[in-house]
Chain A
Amino acid sequence: MPGSTPASLSAEAPAVPAAAAAAKKPRFSPGLEAWRRFRRHKLAVASAVILLGMILAVAFGPLVWRVPINEIDFAAKLEGPTLAHPFGTDDLGQDVLARLLYGGRISLSVGLCAMLVAAFVGVLVGALAGMSRGTVDAILMWLADLFLSLPQLPLLLLVIYLFRDALKSAFGPEGGVFIMIVIVIGGLRWMPVARLVRAQILSLREKEFVEAARALGASKMRQVVRHILPNALGPVIVAGTIDVAAAIIAESTLSFLGLGFPPDIPTWGRVLFDAKDYLDIAPHWAMFPGAAIFLAVLSINFIGDGLRDALDPRRVL
């Protein structure tokens, strides 16, 4: 890294040519530094390319691949990959590629949004608990334990039965279900993040640099936001990427139970579960959505790893 070389330590003496050279080296902003470190992480870069490709595909794919998602053609049912249907067809002769491109929008955005909700709630609760020792901490952690011990599936079902119709009428059938699923999945996955953040804060708040910040007049809020949370970011990012995967899978489960999106919206999970009865005669039908989920989850995890390393300035790569 420029500046960390012994040459720059003595750079005050301009007579030393090495020092002069070091002084001329362009400085990178922290953002550029992080990008430089991220690029060193080959797997993360490849994953970023894959994920970006998938996002572009689901965003613009339906505009390019103009086969309708619900055109029923029994003559071409359960066909393997052909030129007309690159990913084959399902039991109604519908084009799997078109369905995956369309459904991917929902699967990916549900995963990302649910992760954001879980991470936000988790960081908030964890930070609050970690900073306020005593009663507040005890109550919040007790709440987290309570949520952790609740059986998730029955709770999901209950929430959905209670609120689905109200949300549907407020935001339309698709928007309503989307919001509900994001909130339900996010709301049930904040606990690990909260416990992680709390544990990090408990150890970080005793660090000398936090005390130094306090001694220099930083308010409590500032100590947390500026000094503690950035140091706790690594584990949160990793937990967040795992949450994306979990959310995509949870959405699949709900769709399978007929409680998620309506059956005419082919989210990846939905397609996968539709295909499961035909695994022996039409394996391609299940393989493509499975591969899509697998690739998305895996690449998000690797990106998380890469981000964690890139955002930690102590790592000199």
Chain B
Amino acid sequence: MVEALLDIRDLKTWFATEDGLVRAVDGVDLRINRSETVGVVGESGCGKTVTARSVLKLIDMPPGRFAGGQILWQGRDLIPLQAAEMDKIRSKEIAIVFQEPMTSLNPVYTVGDQIAEVLREHEKLTRRQAIERAVEMLALVNIPNPKMRVHDYPHQFSGGMRQRVMIAMALSCRPKLLIADEPTTALDVTIQAQILELMQEMKEKFGMAIMLITHAMGVVAETCQRVVVMYAGKVVEEAPVEALFGDPRHPYTQGLIRSIPRVDRAAVHKERLEAIPGTVPSLLTPPPGCRFAQRCRFAKDVCTQAIPPLKEVSAGHFVRCVL
């Protein structure tokens, strides 16, 4: 097997709160190969974002801490790295795009200055060169009239445009992995499609890998090669995208797929959208056994006794379920 670009092994990120220890990420394994798009899906609060931030070590410590596991970046563990070494990896090797394009840009600098800052920091360009590169990057992400817009402030851009700027900024140092943390959640549907298309285009151009965090199954089906389904801080299913949608094994994944809104059915057959009953269990006191058991319609006694192991049902398709 070729060496993975990013190999997260048994990662545990816990937070000490006043109520006790929150095991937000509790033993997650995740591999991303070169030039691969991996989707990470799951409900709010299942640990997707914490996993992503752990990779870049953006978790505030305290209250957070790594309770175990490794984050292997091209074979090198990131967890013990010092802040200065981590700064070199950020954006040059791994870049991230956040959910909120409206607030992710500094309001007091022009977008050109902000893109240029990254370039000057990491590639030691002069100001003039950096601004030129910023113009190129803006053109690349389809900002009209980049020569003029490079001198504009973030408040002069719309939400979709700002997300483009964020992507331009993230890609300006040609990272090998782009982590997109719900990049389209705050945008309207047509803009969402444009941004996804843009990311796909950039991926092909630069040959980078993408870790796409989302709760929109439709987005996953469209863009990803492999999908990891997370539930309550654990990976419950991992499969190539065709296998996941064609043959979902875990009851939670099945529920997720059934709860995708279908415009045609809702309008024509007046069908009500199916939802998974119940909510994510508290991560303060996770139930013993399968964490999905309380909400699972197939739950048996054995489910509540021990956490089922991740087993391979077909090539590359792993499920954490006794069924």
Give the B-binding residues of A (Cβ under 8 A): 1-4, 8-12, 19, 22-23, 27, 30, 207-220, 222, 226-227, 230-231, 312-314
Contact = CB atoms under 8 A, between A and B. Distances in A.
Contacts of A216: 90-91, 95, 118, 169-170
Interface in B38-62: 56, 58
A11 B148 contact: yes
Interface residues on B, range: 35 or more
B121 A218 contact: yes
B122 to A, nearest CB: 6
A309 to B, nearest CB: 13
Given A11-B148, A23-B145, A312-B108, A215 B100 contact: no
Contacts of A231: 106-108
A313 B153 contact: yes
B145 A212 contact: no
A98 to B, nearest CB: 46
A208 B103 contact: yes
B225 interface: no
A217 B122 contact: yes
A209 B104 contact: yes
Contacts of B170: 216
Given A11-B145, A212-B98, A312-B108, A217 B87 contact: yes
B189 interface: no
A201 to B, nearest CB: 14
B148 A207 contact: no
A227 B106 contact: yes
Given A4-B156, A313-B153, A213 B106 contact: yes
Which among B98, B105, B145 has the greatest number of chain A C-beta atoms within 10 A?
B145
B148 A219 contact: no
Contacts of A10: 144
A11 to B, nearest CB: 4
B58 A3 contact: no
A4 B152 contact: yes
A312 B153 CA distance: 11
Contacts of A312: 108
Contacts of B144: 9-12
B108 A8 contact: no
A3 B156 contact: yes
B319 interface: no
Contacts of B169: 212, 216
Contacts of A3: 148-149, 151-152, 156
A215 B152 contact: no
B234 interface: no
A314 B155 contact: yes
Nearest to A212: B104
A85 B144 CA distance: 67
Interface of B: 56, 58, 83-84, 87-92, 95-96, 98, 100, 103-110, 117-118, 121-122, 144-145, 148-149, 151-153, 155-156, 166, 169-170
Which 4 pairs between the two chains have the least Cβ-Cβ distance? A217-B90, A11-B145, A12-B144, A216-B91
Contacts of B95: 215-216
Which among A1, A8, A10, A211 has the greatest number of chain B C-beta atoms within 10 A?
A211
Nearest to B99: A208
A235 B51 CA distance: 37
| SS class, residues of chain A in contact with chain B | helix
Contact of A211 (B98, B107, B117): B98
Nearest to B156: A4
Contacts of B106: 209-210, 213, 227, 230-231
A73 B116 CA distance: 67
15 contacts: A4-B156, A11-B148, A212-B98, A212-B166, A215-B56, A215-B96, A216-B90, A216-B169, A217-B92, A218-B121, A230-B106, A230-B108, A313-B110, A313-B155, A314-B153
Given A27-B151, A208-B98, A215-B95, 17 more contacts: A1-B156, A3-B156, A4-B156, A11-B144, A19-B145, A27-B148, A30-B110, A208-B100, A208-B103, A209-B104, A212-B166, A215-B56, A219-B84, A230-B106, A231-B106, A312-B108, A313-B153
B179 to A, nearest CB: 9
Nearest to B146: A12
A220 B98 contact: no
Given A8-B148, A212-B104, A217-B92, A226 B117 contact: yes
A313 B145 CA distance: 21
A210 to B, nearest CB: 8
Contacts of A211: 58, 98, 104
Contacts of A222: 121
B117 A217 contact: no
Contacts of B156: 1, 3-4
A215 B151 CA distance: 23
B78 to A, nearest CB: 13
Contact of A219 (B83, B96, B149): B83
Contacts of B103: 207-209
Nearest to B122: A217
Contacts of B88: 217
